[in-house]
Structure 1
Amino acid sequence: MNRISLYWTLQILGWGSIACVNIAFAYLSPRGITEVQVMAFVLLALFYLLSTHFIRYIVKTYDWFKLAIPQLVFQSLLAILAMSFVNVVVEILINIAFDTFNVERDFRVLVILANLFIAFLFYAIWFLLYFLFHFLDNYNNTLKYEAKINQIRLNHLKSQLNPHFIFNALNSVRALVDEDPYKAKSAITRISNILRFSLMMDKKQTIEFEDELNTVKDYLALESIRFEERLQVEYQIEDEAFNYKIPPMMLQTIVENAIKHGISNLVKGGLIEIKCREGLEDDLYIQVKNSGHLIAPPSLKPKATGGHGLSNTVQRLKLIYGEKASFRIFNSGNQFVITEIKIPKQRVTLD
């Protein structure tokens, strides 16, 4: 059951139960209960459901979860008090509409205060449960993310520091030492940049797109030394892409996958093309196109051992963005494979 279904299930069960309890107590009272009074209790419970859903809309729209605790408590108390007064007025209107209103009884100060207190209590309990659920869920997701990012970080460092990578990189540099010392020095700088970036990413959920792209460029520059004319690289990056943040090492992982399973398997090599554009709904679309062909769709399920590949990328996207992000990999004709990721709007704050 997803979060929206769980929310509505709890809403209906919670306020429905309160309506049933009110009806049961009225039924057991000496005066009994009429069908009209049953409808009045049901409508009141429906108002509670709709009013709390409206409060939830306000909370999510104005992002109360990011408020400091004192401000959150203050705004919550104001909202609870305001909705309690509205609830008392609605209760009076329901009684008038169903002809169950008694001026001498229902307009007494003590009765109004009692109704106000009960409404305040119900709304306060709802607020407490709603925020408690949110913070516990958020804490649980944070723990999951930290566990996953640590796993990805370690796996990535394994990949970046494995003997094959270092061997290939150093061999490429060694060949340049006498032939082109300037290029050799540049290659060493790029290796240093990649390793430093890998170590610095730590537990960050997202980083600036430009930082990730610079690391990818360093990596592809190193691979160009190894593959020489067998590797062609093209970039089509819209300026808007630099206003976004993305998960660290995400684009790097996709490009590595394209080199390992695409270019390196082709005798004549091929093309790596990176496209980044902003969608109509302010989502960031990232496409990595590489020469090659998918014989079978790769497994996107988490692996118990080995590799950090595409499955971890999918898991990270889900943990950070939920259902708002998307990932797909597919053949484009018989010569190219495209990996596409959609990142929801999460703008970088520019000074």
Structure 2
Amino acid sequence: MSDEKKYNRFVRLVLVLVVFVLIYFLAFLMNPFSPSWKEYANHSAADLAIEIALSLLLGWAIIEVSTGIAHWLERRLPWTSSPLRRFLLQTTLTVVSVVFLLVFQDLVFRIIYGECCFSQQESLELWQFFVVSVLVSILVSTVHTGYFLLQRWKTSMSEAADLRVKTLELKEIAMQAELQSLKLQLDPHFMFNNFSTLSELINDDPAVATRFLDNLSRVYRYMIQNVKRDLVQLGDELAFVKAYLYLIRIRHGENVQVTIGVGDEARKRAIPPITLQLLIENAIKHNVATASQPLRITVTADDDWLYVINNLQPIPNPMPSTGTGLANITDRYRILSGRLPEVSQGLTEFTVVLPLLDF
């Protein structure tokens, strides 16, 4: 027998004793001066044993009937569907069932002791006992229903909590998958532009192409090492950008001028990897960069923000956007911190302000 079944049987036994005591206690409170209480002292041990046994059986029957009706109705008329109908029907069925139990108990007493003629006082006491038994049965039904509803509520709360946890877990998994997808966009965006330049250099100047390839490999090594990371230190990102600017000078010469002025404290903060490279590449892609109209990009920072500003000189007939630049950066910030970059465009400048994060 399992521990749970043993516990349930023990609880039922305790409840039978409670109902037995409760019936006689309420009967005493209803009529404490009844002569019947004194007559118990004159009963034989056998008669007392029979009455106690029958009363215990009555208590057990009241519990079983009351709880059985509640279980039966829960399958056919749950509390959530119609509480008032459920209350009236459950109370009515409980009262009717207990009436039958009391009639049956009376028949048993008649069989044991024979037909008896009761005085008016004894008849009144029998009706009082009858009323008390019905009230106790209603109480048992109410307590059982309250316990049942409490368990349902606890189960619902537990299930709701589990559902919230699973929802958060699934949300985190989805966000991580989205983040990995966003990171995978960085490779082709970066490599397409630089391999195009490298292919031209191989034909025009093989020596420069070799140095370009060496720097490209160092830059790409940084990307491989950090693309799986969610955040990198701004100082490391700036060191990567410094190496990346060699590739920019080979591709564009002095047509693109990048100035970096970031203090030591800001360099200890964090940003998503490859963010600055994307912003610089994005500025070059969408603006004219010539000897007469150089593109100037400035990178500065304060304690909480990184500012990337370029002079605005849009290309007359721009190529269709690949959607990897600002959208990629914004989505990664949204997933990692909830803080979003601020983008503003004036008459002469285009500004992207990135939040500096903490590890």
Q: What's the TM-score once normalised by structure 2's chain length?
A: 0.52
Letter in 2 for 1:141: M
Q: Tell me the equivalent position of 2:161.
A: 127
Q: Superposed, which structure 2 residues align to 1:150-189 within 5 Å?
A: 150-160=184-194, 162-165=195-198, 167=200, 174=207
Write the deviation string for residues 250-305 of structure 1: whole angstroms up to 9, x where unpaired: 110111222343362452424221012234xxxxx222122333479x99x9x6xx
C-alpha separation between the residues in 1 aligned to 2:310 and 2:176?
A: 34
Name the CA distance, whole Å, in 2 between partners of 1:22 and 1:326: 52
Aligned match of 2:353: 340
Name which of 172, 175, 195 aligns with 1:138.
172
Whether 2:329 is the aligned partner of 1:313: answer yes
2:229 is paired with a residue whose SS is coil
Question: Percent of pairs identical after alignment?
Answer: 20
Amino acid at match of 1:156: F
The letter for the 2-side match of 1:330 is Q
Q: 1:289 aligns with which of 296, 302, 309?
A: 309
Match of 1:328 among 316, 321, 343: 343
1:131 is displaced (CA, Å) by: 0.9
Describe the shift of the 1:272–1:110 C-alpha distance in structure 2 as closer, same or farther (beyond 3 A): same
Partner of 2:268: 243
**Following the alignment from structure 1 to structure 2, what is the Cα–Cα distance between the partners of residues 277 and 342?**
10
* AA partner of residue 129 (structure 1): L
Of 213-222 and 163-172, the range deviating more from structure 2:
163-172
Matched, 1:28 2:43: no
Q: Check 1:342–1:202 CA distance in 2 against 1; reply closer, same or farther (3 A cut).
A: closer
Separation in structure 2 between the aligned mates of residue 30 and residue 229 of structure 1, nearest angstrom: 86
2:268 and 2:143 map into 1 onto residues whose CA distance is 58
Does the aligned pair in 1 maintain the 2:330–2:340 contact within 8 Å?
no
For residue 154 of structure 1, report the CA deviation from its aligned partner. 3.0
Q: Any stretches of 5+ residues in structure 1 without a counterpart?
A: 1-20, 33-101, 178-183, 280-284
- Separation in 1 of the partners of 2:146 and 2:79? 17
Q: Which 10-residue stretch deviates more, 269-278 or 188-197?
A: 188-197
Cα gap change, 1:319 to 1:136, in 2 (>3 Å): same
Contact 2:297 2:311 in 1 (8 A): yes
Matched residue of 2:88: which SS?
Answer: coil
Give the Cα–Cα distance (whole angstroms) in 2 for the partners of residues 125 and 132 of structure 1: 10
Kindly report the root-mean-square deviation, in angstroms, between the aligned alpha carbons of the 2 structures.
4.1
Contact 1:262 1:290 in 2 (8 A): no
Work out the CA distance in 2 between the residues paired with 1:210 and 1:170: 36
Is this contact kept in 2: 1:262–1:293, CA < 8 A? Answer: yes
Residues 14-33 of structure 1, C-alpha deviation per residue, up to 9 Å, x if partnerless?
xxxxxxx746442112538x
Runs of at least 5 residues in structure 2 that lack an aligned partner in the other structure? 1-77, 90-135
Structure 1, 214-223 or 230-239: larger mean CA deviation: 230-239
Is 2:315 the partner of 1:256? no
Q: Secondary structure of the residue that 2:353 maps to in structure 1?
A: strand
Matched residue count? 235
